[in-house]
Each structure stands twice: as C-alpha cells, then as structure tokens.
Amino acid sequence: MNQPIQNCYWIVSGAFLAGEYPRDKDDQTSRDKLGRLLDSGITTFIDLTEADEGLLPYAQWLGTATHHRFPIQDVSVPSSPQITQDILDTIDHAIDRGERVYLHCWGGVGRTGVIVGCWLARHGHAGPAALDQLHNLWQQCPKSRRRRSPETQEQERYILNWEAGK
C-alpha cells in the first residue's frame, strides 16, 4: 500500500501507519497533508508530542477522526510501562474495530519508533526481533536514509526489555 504522505511507513498495511507530525507551518499545506491521511482511511490519530513543543494543533481539521494524545518527552521513552500499555491498547482497540491508525511524534523517528517496537514485541517480535522488524519497516520511510529509528540507546533498550504480549 502506498504512503499517503512522504515521511511515514506502514506497520500493518492498510491498518497501522506511523510517521511525522501531520501538520506543517502553513494552513493550506497542513490541510493537504491531513487530507491525504484522511483520504487513505486514517480514522485514529495517536499523538506522542507534548503540548509545549511549539507545534501547531491539527485536531480541528480531523472531522470524524479521533485524536488521542499520549505525551512522551522528546528523545526519550514513556515515563511508565502503564503509559506504553495504554498507547498499545488504544492502537489495538482501534485496529480491532476496523479503524486505521496513524501514530506520530514530531519527526516520526524516536518516540514513534519506541511505540512501534513495543507494539511489534506485543505481537510476537520480542527482543532483538522487534528491533530488526522495526528497522526493516523503517526502510519504507525516506528519512531512513539519514536517521535511525529509534534514535537513542535508551530507546533501543526500552524496546529490547519490553515483554512480549504486554
């Protein structure tokens, strides 16, 4: 399945997409970008950014799509395993209802990679297999030519230590 915007990648084709913040500096470009995500069937947006990152809001343009914010500090990991479980549960419940999920942070690299890696661990790719699968999926994204996902050793350790099925 094609990527609706440039810097994103499918974790589950047609069901679970991850990438960068879906808003740009100007309104028209933002509406176009969000329109492509919505036209691709995205119905659930999971936002890992913090309110004080200076990013412009976009929820007002989502129509009937839902927006969930689970803030994680930039270049970090979730502050508790419970937050990670809540995010993973939100993703799984949406997919189970037939919705299409878009998971993002600001750049779509570090925090997003952590959650994708933990989701992969939950679904049978535990430990190093989760990181290997994440690295393979990340190759769909043009940013993969110049960035690693996840970004830090702390983020990699978080994925490696995430218990399968959690």
Residue at 3 is within a domain: no
For the chain, the domain total comes to 1
Give 29-74 pLDDT, tens digit per residue.
999 999 999 999 999 999 999 999 999 999 999 999 999 999 999 9
Residue at 32 is within a domain: yes
Q: How confident is the model at residue 164 (pLDDT cuts 50, 70, 90)?
A: low
Residue at 96 is within a domain: yes
Q: What are the DSSP calls for 33-54, one per residue? A: HHHHHHHTTEEEEEE---GGG-
Containing domain of residue 146, as a range?
8-161
Give 99-134 pLDDT, tens digit per residue.
999 999 999 999 999 999 999 999 999 899 999 999
Q: Please state, rounded to an integer, the average pLDDT across all residues of the chain.
A: 96
Residue at 2 is within a domain: no
CA atoms of 9 and 47, how far apart (whole Å): 16
Is it the case that residue 165 has pLDDT exceeding 70? no
Neighbours of 75 (CB within 10 A): 16
What is this structure's pTM?
Answer: 0.96
pLDDT given for residue 121 in this prediction: 96
- In CATH, what number is assigned to the domain containing residue 40? 3.90.190.10
